RNA sequence: GCCGGGAUGGCGAAAUUGGCAGACGCAGCGGACUUAAAAUCCGCAGGUCCGAAAGGACUGUGGGGGUUCGAUUCCCCCUCCCGGCACCA
């Protein structure tokens, strides 16, 4: 046998055949690396003064409810993969974590288990932090934020004072949402289908209370407009916020009450988006709680009783969450109001479908051009007057009777005095201007968004830093006296109003203005205040002179990527945007939006339903880690579905992932030869067919995974690609088919794979896996004899030339149906490909005796021959 | 009612969006190793029909139309599912 000159060593034997259990021992490997990671406190720390480009990746901070659930694992697995990817790409990464640790569950736990809220909360935090560490999430714990600590909530109080100074925090008595189970007020955003967001089956009651509000409406317009700039936010979230803000352009018009008036005066302002139809207004409808109604019923017991009835109906419908289903009722007041446009007297009604908290609580009723007004007018036999006719293409043809109600904008005015023949849009402009000129109205914008009520009649929250003095009224706590400390020794109950009001040491204070006795505010802040700005605190978490340093925040903001559940699309994400705009106007920051890119991951369900203790379908992360390891749990939640879709947990699915991790481990363990010099030599070309295939696959895989990290984020396909690479590598390195010769029992191997190529494949395989399965990746990195820290190892680059196929298989269609395939070189010209296709045996038989009508050749894709 | 997102094998999904439908994985089937099982490895696999087999024919991405040589992808109509808003004037 001639001596073949070998420049590079190759894999020539099947290693280590003696192994009793070939399962990968994840616990051993993960425990080893867990210990090592714990020893390096600065491992995941962001660099304070860095010339590197920054990248701020953030996952929504959890409420420390006790244990992590799979939804958390999914959320953090996505963020962690991204953070690790960015580290490997040389960025200065900020990847912090904290605890949204004020809130009701702590109080409920205190009541049930007689454990103080603070103790309960801190225990949960310790537990969940340990879980996060075991799962291998790379957080910079030196910046940990815990919102229930005075070091944090003092800045809530500080912000509150600043907002108060600027008129953005104010106190007023108003109807508020009250959850009887939480025994506290809720913001509008916390009411879901008429029920409490924490108690899906508890209808929210309406109560009249003095409350603190933040003036979110001041930013309504900016909050709406800036949504257009958030192009890297999911359309869904932007739509939800648009709906929530609910901007509506229209006109205010003052109708004058005819006859005697009361304290509410004689002006009834109505809001309409269709002032063009005002000549068709045949009544004015008031909300039952409209102030003018109070005047009208003052001396009219009969009317008062009827109005009471309407109020009851309205409240019932509201509490049942189906205000839209209410049966329309109204009562005539016997009084009239004057339409300022034509001086006409129209009857004044009170109706149960008019809402006091939208617009002005009064409308003009135009039955001919509004669905609801039409229905109402039919029911009560009110006049229906047409003032808009549909346009016709044929000027000769006039449509005298459009089908009613005729609600579209596209028409011309009639019966409208000087506005006849104007288009609706023209008329709206001219009539609004007319109203403004004559002082009885103006163009205006109405929002659905309401100011944010932040007072909570609960204990476990940030005390509102305000005092009530008999002499000086409402007095803010001076900045130097912050924080107002939440007392710790408390009897927590859910009855009897704000718990803090029962602590005399807390309540009794001194007025900073007059030195006399003052009473402290005993309500606490909504916990959504805490989460509205926490991500700024991460940038400068230990600052005791300011919530954060502006220059440092400027370096890190905006957040490059924020990841969390879509359930916060309105609540947290609208409050945070408001807070950022308010802080910008205070000069603390320069960015107008907190988050550049938002990603909302899908829910994790089990057996088709959201996991919950009561349903008994909870999959415990701890159990999964114990059984399969952290890598497997993380990889599985990324692999099972694209991250933005819901994922139904399958126990068998994670087993498949476990097998994959085992195959990776065995592939490296069995084939790594870092002690051989050839392992470290640069790869020499040319390569054999098999080797070249493997090399190509490697570069294709690097490209696929890298591309997906650039925004598409289909990590499920990234992981598939890595699996394919491993399959290919196993085939090439170990040979496909049986592993042993059935006759002789000798091991069978594939063609020669140069050791340098194998090294290349193994190193890159580990690097590609590093963001998803960090424990295994670290173990293998070490096994490969690599010295540097894998966390900051350079992300692999692909070579487009090496990723390119030299020969491709082109499908040949005849009349659009796949009939054959031909193999051509990748850069073959159209003619060559066509010639090859036409020369193909099968194609020749199929088209024999037929006329070729058309030949289509898409280079690199396919050939289609159209025959007759 | 308005707005947004979906519907692809037994299951999770892929097709980077006009160009080979079903990659990867689960479950399944067959085989190797084993006394046996587990673990591991190799192979098969959308459906229907024809064939002993190799192979072939037809069909197939919620339904119906259309554009195109060619449609999961584009256009029109419809059904169902998920989410948001809703007598919002």
In the beta sheet, which residues pair with residue A98? Answer: A145
Q: Report if CB A361 to strand B is under 7 Å.
A: yes
User: What local confidence, expressed as pLDDT, does residue A18 receive?
Assistant: 39
- Provide the pLDDT for residue A322: 61
Q: Which nucleotide is nearest to A821 (CA to C1')?
A: B20
Sign of CA dihedral A617, A623, A628, A629: positive
What is the distance in angstroms measured between the alpha-carbon CA of A850 and the sugar C1' of B50?
A: 26
A683 CA to B37 C1' distance (Å): 45
Residue closest to A300 by CA, chosen among A343, A265, A262, A266: A262
What does the alpha-carbon distance between residue A482 and residue A339 come to, in Å, rounded to a whole number?
A: 55
ipTM score here?
0.95
Residue A446, Cβ density class (10 Å: 0-12 exposed, 13-18 middle, ≥19 buried): middle
Residues 441-460 of chain A with CB under 7 A from strand B are: 446, 448
CA A316 to chain centroid, in Å, comes to 33
Interatomic CA–C1' length for residue A615 and nucleotide B80, angstroms? 27
Residues 533-592 of A with CB under 7 A from strand B: 566, 570
Q: Which residues does chain A have with pLDDT short of 70?
A: 1-22, 319-325, 392-400, 733-751
pLDDT digits (tens, 9 = 90+) for A171-230: 998 888 888 888 888 888 888 877 888 887 888 888 888 999 999 999 999 999 999 899
User: CA A406, CA A388: separation in Å to the nearest integer?
Assistant: 8
Which residue's entry shows tokens 């007018």? Answer: A377
Which nucleotides of strand B are protein-proximal, with an atom < 7 A from a CB? 3-5, 11-16, 19-21, 23-27, 32, 38-43, 57-58, 69-71, 83-89
Instruction: Supply the pLDDT for residue A263.
Output: 93
- CA angle in degrees (0–180, nearest 5) for A520-A524-A530: 135
pLDDT at A398: 57
- Alpha helices by DSSP H, listed for A13-101, are 26-39, 70-88
Query: In this predicted model, what pLDDT tens digit does every residue of A452-476 receive, in sequence order?
Result: 999 999 899 999 999 999 999 999 9
* Structural Rg of chain A based on CA atoms: 35
A843-846 contact pairs (CB < 8 A, 24+): A843/A812, A843/A814, A843/A819, A846/A814, A846/A819
Question: What does pTM read for this prediction?
Answer: 0.91
Q: For residue A396, how many other CB atoms are within 10 A of its CB? A: 5
Rounded CA gap, A114 and A789, in Å? Answer: 47
Structure confidence at residue A14 (pLDDT): 34
pLDDT at residue A241 in the model: 93
Strand B closer than 7 A to residue A407 Cβ: no
User: A792, A93 in Cβ contact below 8 A?
Assistant: no
Whether the Cβ atoms of residue A105 and residue A65 lie closer than 8 Å to each other:
yes
pLDDT digits (tens, 9 = 90+) for A755-798: 899 999 999 999 999 999 999 999 999 999 998 899 999 999 99
The nucleotide whose C1' lies nearest the CA of A865 is B69
> Could you say which DSSP state residue A238 is in?
H
The integer distance in angstroms from the CA atom of A816 to the C1' atom of B75 is: 21
Span CA (A842) to C1' (B50), Å: 20
Number of helices followed by number of strands (H, E) in chain A: 25, 34
pLDDT digits 0-9 by tens, A620-645: 999 999 999 999 999 999 999 999 99
């Amino acid at each position: 046998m001639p001596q073949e000159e070998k420049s590079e060593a190759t894999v020539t034997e099947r290693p280590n055949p003696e192994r009793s259990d070939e399962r990968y021992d994840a616990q051993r490997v993960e425990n080893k690396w867990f210990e090592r990671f714990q020893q390096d406190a600065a491992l995941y720390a962001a660099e304070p003064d860095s010339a590197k480009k920054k990248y701020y990746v953030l996952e929504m901070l959890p409420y420390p409810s006790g244990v992590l659930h799979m939804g958390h694992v999914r959320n953090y697995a996505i963020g962690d993969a991204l953070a690790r990817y960015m580290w490997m790409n040389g960025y200065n990464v900020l990847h912090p974590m904290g605890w949204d640790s004020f809130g009701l569950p702590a109080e409920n736990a205190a009541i049930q288990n007689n454990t103080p809220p603070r103790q309960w909360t801190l225990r949960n935090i310790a537990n969940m932090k340990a879980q996060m560490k075991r799962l291998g999430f790379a957080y910079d714990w030196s910046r940990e934020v815990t919102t229930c600590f005075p070091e944090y909530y003092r800045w809530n109080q500080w912000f509150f004072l600043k907002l108060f100074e600027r008129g953005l925090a104010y106190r007023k008595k108003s109807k508020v949402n009250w959850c009887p189970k939480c025994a506290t007020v809720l913001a509008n955003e916390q009411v879901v289908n008429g029920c409490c967001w924490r108690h899906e089956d508890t209808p929210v009651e309406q109560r009249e209370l003095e409350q603190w509000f933040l003036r979110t409406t001041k930013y309504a317009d900016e909050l709406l407009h800036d949504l257009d700039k958030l192009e890297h936010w999911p359309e869904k979230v932007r739509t939800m916020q648009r709906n929530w803000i609910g901007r509506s352009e229209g006109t205010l018009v003052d109708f004058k009450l005819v006859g005697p008036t009361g304290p509410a005066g004689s002006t009834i302002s109505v809001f309409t988006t269709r002032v063009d139809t005002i000549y068709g207004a045949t009544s004015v409808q008031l909300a039952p709680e409209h102030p003018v109604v109070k005047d009208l019923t003052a001396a009219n017991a009969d009317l008062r009783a009827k109005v009471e009835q309407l109020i009851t109906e309205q409240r019932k419908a509201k509490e049942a969450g189906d205000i839209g289903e209410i049966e329309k009722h109204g009562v005539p007041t016997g009084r009239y109001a004057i339409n300022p446009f034509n001086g006409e007297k129209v009857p004044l009604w009170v109706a149960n479908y008019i809402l006091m908290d939208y617009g002005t609580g009064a409308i003009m009723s135009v039955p001919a051009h509004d669905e609801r007004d039409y229905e109402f007018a039919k029911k009560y036999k009110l006049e229906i007057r047409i003032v808009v006719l549909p346009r016709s293409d044929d000027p000769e043809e006039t449509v005298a009777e459009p089908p009613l109600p005729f609600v579209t904008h596209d028409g011309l005015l009639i019966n409208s005095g000087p506005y006849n023949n104007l288009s609706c849009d023209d008329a709206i402009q001219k009539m609004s201007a007319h109203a403004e000129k004559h002082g009885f109205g103006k163009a205006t914008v109405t929002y659905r968004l309401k100011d944010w009520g932040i007072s909570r009649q609960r204990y476990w929250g940030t005390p509102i830093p305000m005092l009530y003095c008999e002499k000086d009224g409402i007095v803010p706590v001076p900045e130097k006296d912050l924080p107002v400390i939440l007392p710790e020794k408390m009897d927590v109950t859910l009855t009897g109003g704000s718990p803090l009001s029962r602590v005399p040491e807390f309540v009794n204070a001194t007025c900073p203005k007059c030195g006399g006795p003052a009473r402290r505010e005993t309500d606490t802040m909504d916990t959504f205040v805490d989460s509205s700005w926490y991500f700024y605190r991460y940038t400068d978490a230990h600052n005791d002179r300011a919530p954060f340093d502006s220059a440092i925040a400027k370096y890190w903001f905006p957040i490059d990527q924020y990841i969390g559940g879509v359930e916060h699309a309105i609540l947290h994400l609208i409050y945070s945007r408001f807070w950022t705009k308010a802080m910008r106007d205070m000069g603390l920051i320069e960015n107008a939006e907190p988050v550049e890119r938002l990603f909302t991951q899908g829910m994790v369900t089990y057996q088709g339903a959201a996991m919950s203790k009561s349903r008994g379908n909870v999959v415990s992360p701890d159990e999964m880690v114990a059984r399969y390891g952290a890598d497997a749990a993380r990889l599985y939640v990324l692999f099972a579905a694209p991250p933005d879709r819901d994922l139904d947990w399958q126990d068998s699915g994670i087993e498949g992932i476990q097998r994959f991790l085992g195959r990776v481990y065995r592939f490296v363990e069995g084939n790594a030869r870092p002690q051989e010099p050839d392992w470290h030599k640069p790869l020499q070309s040319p390569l054999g067919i098999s080797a070249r295939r493997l090399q190509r696959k490697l570069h294709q895989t690097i490209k696929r995974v890298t591309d997906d990290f650039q925004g598409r984020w289909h990590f499920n396909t990234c992981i598939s690609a890595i699996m394919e690479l491993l399959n290919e590598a196993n085939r090439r390195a170990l040979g496909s088919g049986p592993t042993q010769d059935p006759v002789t029992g000798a091991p069978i191997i594939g063609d020669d794979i140069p050791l340098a190529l194998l090294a290349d494949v193994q190193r890159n395989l580990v690097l590609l896996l590093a963001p998803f399965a960090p424990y295994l990746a670290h173990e293998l990195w070490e096994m490969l004899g690599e010295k540097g820290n894998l966390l900051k190892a350079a992300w692999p680059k692909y070579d487009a030339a090496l990723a390119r196929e030299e020969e491709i298989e082109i499908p040949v269609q005849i009349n659009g149906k796949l009939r054959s395939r031909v193999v051509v070189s990748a850069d073959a010209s159209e003619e060559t490909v066509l010639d090859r296709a036409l020369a193909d045996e099968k194609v020749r038989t199929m088209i024999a005796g037929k006329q070729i009508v058309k030949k289509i050749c898409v280079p690199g894709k396919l050939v289609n021959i159209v025959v007759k």
